[in-house]
Each structure stands twice: as C-alpha cells, then as structure tokens.
Chains A and B, each alone.
Chain A
Amino acid sequence: MVPFLLLLLLGLAAAAFSWPDNRSRPWLLLVGAAAHSAGMAELWLHPEPPLFGGYLFLDAPGKVVLATVSALFLATAVYSQGYLRHRHDKDNRVFVSGLLGLLAAMTVVGLAQHLGVLWVAIELTTLSTAPLIYFNRNARSLEAAWKYLLVSSLGIALALLGTFFVALSGAGPDGPRSLLLSSLLQAGPGLSKPWVRAAFVFLLVGYGTKMGLAPLHSWKPDAYGEAPGILGALLAGAVTNVAFLALVRVFQVTRAAGEGGFACDALVGLGLLSMALAAVFMAGQRDFKRMLAYSSVEHMGILAVGLGLGGGAVAGAFYHVVNNGLAKGVLFLAAGNIHRGYGSKRVEDVRGAARRLPVSGPLFLAGFLAVTGTPPFSPFWSEFVILNGALGSGRWAVGGLFLLFLAVVFVGMGATVLKVVQGDDRGAPERTGFRDSWLTAGPPLALLLAVLALGLWLPSPLASLFRSAAALVGGGS
C-alpha cells in the first residue's frame, strides 16, 4: 500500500513533467491528492506493519501530521484547478510536478522511523519546493528562491552533521550502532550523553531552520511573500509541520538518552523568541503575504513551546499542528485570491476586499480570527491547552509571556487585516479579471468550516490520537 502510493506519486510527478498541455496538466494534482487521501484513510482504518525492516511505519505523531498534509493538499489541489487556469500564460510544468514530488517527500517524512531516511526526505522537500518559488519568473521571486535554497541547504547540512552525531553516540561497542528510532529509544541512557547533547543542538538548528523558528526564519517572509498562494499554503501548513515532526523524532531520542531537561529549555526559549519576534515584525507590516509569514513564525514558536513544556501541553501542540495547518490554508488561499483580484499585495493599495471579493475578503478576516485563537475556532482550544499546561505546571513566566505575545500579535495582525478587508475599494487598483469562483473560494471556505467544526466538537478518536502522540514524547495529562 505505502510503496504503491509513493510510486504512484512519483509516477504522476514524472507524467506531469512530460505532459504536453498546460491547461489539463493541473488535473494530475487532483489525481495525486485524491490517491493520497484515500491511501491515508486506508492506513488509518487498517494499520500496516512496519515496512522495509522497520524503516517506514505510521505511528501516532506521523498520523497527526500526514492527515493534516493530506487534507491541506487536497484543498490546494482543487484550488489550483481554478488558479492555474487563471494564470494559464505561465508554464506550470515544473510547478505541478514539483508539488507532486513534494507530497511524496512529505509522506516519507511522516512515515520515517530512521533518522537517515528522515533527513533525506526533509532534504527532498527543500529541493522540490525551491524551483516552485520562482513560478512568477521575475527578479523578486528569483531572489526569494535563492535565499530559500541557500538558507535551507545550510540548515539541512547542519542537520546531517547532527544526525552523524546521533549515530556516533550509539557507535560504542555495546551501543545500538543504528539510526533506527526504535533501537535508539531502546538504548536510551546507553547513548553517549555529550554527543546526544551536541546532536540536539545541531538538529534543532537544522530542522529549526526548515520550520522557520526565530532567529533562523530569514528565508520565510521572502519565500511566502513571492510564492503563489498555493505554495505558501503548503509551505506554512504542511512543510513546516513536517519539519516539526522531524524535531519531535529528535526530541524523542534526546529524552530517552536522559537529556530531556536541557532540550525542553532550548525548545521553550526558541519558541518564545519566535513568538516575540513575530509580534514585533507583524505590527505595521505593509505586505499582507509577508505578514502571514510572520504569523507562521509565531505558530512554529507555539508548537516549540508546547513540545518543550511537556505534560499536558504536548497534546495541545499536536492538536495545534492540525489547527495551524488548516487555518494557514484558509489564510494563504484567501490572500492569494485578494492578490489576484487587485494585482497588488501592498496594504496601502488594497482596501475594500470584502466588497470586491465577497467570499475571499470575509474569509481572510475569518481566517485571521481563527489563527489568532478567537473562540469558537479550534486554534483557541489548542492554544488554551498549551497555556493550561504552562500554568498547571507552575511556569507562570512562560504562560504570561505566551499570553502577552498572543495578544500583541492579535492587535498587530488585526490592524493590517482590517485595512485590507474593510472600507471602499475606490482608489484601489483597477479590477483585474479575477473573480471569486467555486474553484478558488470553495477550498479555503471548506478549510475554514473544518477549523470551525474542530473547534465546536473534537471527535474522541482524534482526542485520543493527540494523547497517544503526546505519550510518545513524554506528555501526559
């Protein structure tokens, strides 16, 4: 089942690359997305034993992340039918096949139970997305693609060094001499502690770059600002979540080796720093797509804080993976529509989006409310669980700063979003030919309804999935 799905996705990517017709090529995305969703549903209902000698296996954290990836990819695949038709003048050969390759790479990350395989798959997510940022073929998107490629490659090289450190920590005569997660966890305290500690530092920097934790986020505003909305949604809602999963794997090993306390402090520190930095740069942002990049930095910070706090907060972090992924889809797709409807993404040009684009405008506002944790949307609940974890374990300073940064972000982001959505569109750039349609406004609407539904009612299998994912990294309520 899993090998078949991966081969199918790679085959579709190759087919997309050789497909002659620009207009019908995006259909392949839909085929890949549908196959992936079906495959994930099948794996969920009928779990498979570990594959290839235990290298690939779907455990609870992988399930959380891959289900989010699958849902988000399906929504963006539907959206791309409308979007790429609107932009039929641009060649989408590399774009479509790159997205399919990205989906295959993310699936491998979700399944990987071996730190080497994990690293290779994370590297492939970088390589398959870098050319896609250059979709618009102009100087600005080229600059963004170059920065993304260079910064991510540096991060990934340091992550490889960290992976070697892990291998070395278990290379002693009675060590596991393997990078399989299960044998590393079993060896636990037998691993060489100084090397595990050094490995965690390098891997945190490496995968933290890919996640976009501050101060390693420098590629993010450029890449999200210049990439098409589809790619922004997938980078912010899927690729960063997948990188978070990689960090979770590393954290599992570090904890098993008895260095958990040090790792937790590092995670909480970097997480709070990311939230603080996002709050500062969010205020007065003049480009609404770059603003979303800082929102992504903030939410990666929230995930890191949740993981680092331990206890009940960890389940909140996994819940937040889903919520942030879906909400980022709403925001980036709606922002992409507004960008197309005005031909500009500068806040001083764009106003009255609610009138010009009667679905996308309000969706952008609703997406903002959802992502900043306004009830009844689901991010409110996951952030609440994390905050509860902080206060419940008596870490008042962490909880206080967490709340403070959330509030500052709400105000800063709200000012920009309201300027874009409200008012009259007189004086704004001419209407372009772009209108809201089922294909472009439907997918973000569906994602928003999902975020709302998850906020109103969390099905008990999902809640227990978050708890069992958290139990693997030492979280329990």
Chain B
Amino acid sequence: MSSWIDMTFVLVVVINLVLLASSRLGAAIRAVALQGALLSLLALLLASPAHDLGHVLLVAGGALAIKAVFIPWLMFRAIREAAIRREVEPLIGYVPSLLLGGAGVALAFAFSRGLPLPTPEMHTFLVPTALSTVWTGLLLVVSRKKAVTQVLGFLVLENGVFVFGLLLTDVMPVMVEAGVLLDLLAAVFVMGIVMFHINREFSSLDTDVLASLKD
C-alpha cells in the first residue's frame, strides 16, 4: 500500500519535469490531465478509515472530473480552434528549465524538513511534492510565451496546492474544498474566454504580441 503511494508521488514529480521539457502542447495537456488523474488517486490512497467516505469520494471524483477530463478537453478545444501545436522559443530554454525544476525538488525536500508536521501520521513525500509542483507551475507561467502554456502552468500550480490540501481533508470543511475546485474551474473558464479573444484580435496566442503596455 505504502509503496503505491510513494510511486504516485514520484510520478507526480516526474510529470512536472516532463512538462518543463516538453515543447508539444498536445503532449503537455495530456501530461497535465494524467497528473490530475494521479491526484484523484492520491485522494483515495491517502484516506484513512477515520475519514468520511462520502467526502473522500467527492474530492477524488471532483478532481478526476475537473482536473483530468473537463479542463484538458477545454484546452484541446482551445488549441484546435487556434491551430497551434508547439511552444516556440520559451524565455527560459528547456534544459535550464529542467535544471531549475530539479533544483526546486531538492529545495522542496530541504525546506519541508524544517517544517515539522503537526499531524505526524501523514506521508513524508507529501509536502515536498506539493511545494515542487507549485514551483514548477510558477516556472511555467513566467518562462513560457504561449497563453495556453501559461494556463497549463497555472493548472500545475493549482495541482500543487491541491496535493497540499490533501493533508487537511479532515480539518477543512467541505465548503472550502468545493471552493477550490469551483474556483479553479471558473478561473480557467474565464482565461479560456480571454484566450479566444486574444486569438481573434491578433490571430495568434503568443503573449509576445501583448507588449504594447509598458513604461
């Protein structure tokens, strides 16, 4: 059981690194969808008998439906309508991004050692995985130029926050967790609409063309 959990955490981190190195948008969206599915699996694996079963199923099912199915579908529609395939010339190249991502994982492990968990029964990989996923998301948002990749970065960041939230399934009221999923949905939805407008206005989804406002 425990080795399965280890494996899932490692896969989440591996997907982070894959995302940092991938230039094909379709593959990147599939990787984010797979990460969403893994998170839903984690929600099930980490549940202890003490947890309310309905609540655990709600979180896992919600993550699967939204993170692994609905949002990837929305993103695929976006790249099909905008007819784009690849990220071109990221601001930070693929190899440096990978190195930064790897450094992030190391730092996340070091950082989480300094933060003792008040609930010691939790898995030791959880906090480092969450923090390195958040770091990967931030890195993707600032270092990529396509609007689609920036949204993917935001999704990865939210995935990291979600992993951390799993620590709190018994402390947090349902309302806040529902809020997490709903807000993510709403944010991506609004971003999607804006992306369509960007595409129509400039016939491109490069945020490079969005550079007329500066001091």
**A residues lining the B interface (CB < 8 Å):** 116-117, 119-120, 123, 127, 130-131, 134, 138-140, 142-147, 149-150, 153-154, 156-158, 160-161, 164, 167-173, 175, 177-179, 192, 194-195, 198, 221-222, 225-226, 281, 285, 290
Contact = CB atoms under 8 A, between A and B. Distances in A.
A127 B183 CA distance: 9
B161 A127 contact: no
9 contacts: A134-B197, A140-B212, A143-B213, A147-B210, A150-B150, A150-B191, A164-B168, A168-B171, A169-B118
B134 A116 contact: no
B201 interface: yes
A154 B141 contact: yes
B147 A157 contact: no
Contacts of A120: 176, 179, 183
A162 B118 CA distance: 16
Interface of B: 114-119, 134, 137-138, 141, 147, 150, 154, 157-158, 160-161, 164-165, 167-168, 171-173, 175-176, 179-180, 183, 186-187, 190-191, 193-194, 197-198, 201-202, 207, 210-213, 215
A234 B206 CA distance: 30
Given A127-B190, A131-B190, A139-B212, 11 more contacts: A119-B179, A149-B187, A149-B194, A153-B154, A154-B154, A164-B165, A168-B171, A171-B119, A194-B116, A221-B213, A222-B213
B161 A146 contact: no
B176 A116 contact: yes
A142 B198 contact: yes
B32 to A, nearest CB: 15
B118 A146 contact: no
B118 A195 contact: yes
6 tightest CB-CB pairs across the interface, nearest first?
A: A172-B118, A116-B176, A143-B210, A222-B213, A120-B179, A171-B171
A457 B164 CA distance: 51
Contacts of A221: 213, 215
A146 B190 CA distance: 10
Contact of B207 (A140, A146, A153): A146
Nearest to A133: B194
B147 A161 contact: no
Contacts of B180: 160
A31 B198 CA distance: 34
Nearest to B119: A171
A325 B117 CA distance: 41
Contacts of A145: 194
A86 B136 CA distance: 47
Contacts of A167: 168, 171-172
Contact of A175 (B118, B176, B186): B118
At the interface, is chain A mostly helix, strand, loop or mixed?
Answer: helix
A179 B172 CA distance: 8
B118 A168 contact: yes
Given A116-B172, A154-B141, A290 B215 contact: yes
A415 B152 CA distance: 44
Given A130-B194, A192-B118, A168 B168 contact: yes
A210 to B, nearest CB: 14
B119 A172 contact: yes
B212 to A, nearest CB: 6
Contacts of A144: 213
Contacts of B202: 139
A142 B201 contact: yes
Q: Which interface residue of A160, A167, A175, A195 has the most chain B CB atoms within 10 A?
A: A160
Contacts of A226: 213
B182 to A, nearest CB: 9
Contacts of B172: 116, 167, 179
B161 A157 contact: yes
B190 A164 contact: no
A143 B207 CA distance: 8
Given A123-B183, A150-B150, A143 B168 contact: no
Contacts of A285: 215
Contacts of B161: 157, 160-161, 164
Given A149-B190, A150-B150, A164-B161, A143 B118 contact: no
Contacts of B175: 116-117
B111 to A, nearest CB: 9
A168 B187 contact: no
Nearest to A150: B150
B154 A134 contact: no
A175 B117 CA distance: 13
A128 B43 CA distance: 31
Contact of A195 (B115, B186, B211, B212): B115
Contacts of B190: 127, 130-131, 149
Contacts of B212: 139-140, 143
A138 to B, nearest CB: 8
Contacts of A198: 115
B164 to A, nearest CB: 5
Given A116-B179, A290-B215, A146 B194 contact: yes
B66 to A, nearest CB: 15
Contact of B171 (A138, A177, A195): A177
B196 to A, nearest CB: 11
Contacts of B164: 161, 164
Contacts of B138: 154
A142 B197 contact: yes
B133 to A, nearest CB: 11
B118 A139 contact: no
Contact of A140 (B114, B118, B176, B213): B213
Contacts of A131: 190, 193-194
B187 A153 contact: yes
Nearest to A145: B194
Contact of A281 (B158, B165, B191, B215): B215
Nearest to A153: B187
A150 B148 CA distance: 12
Contacts of B167: 164, 168, 171
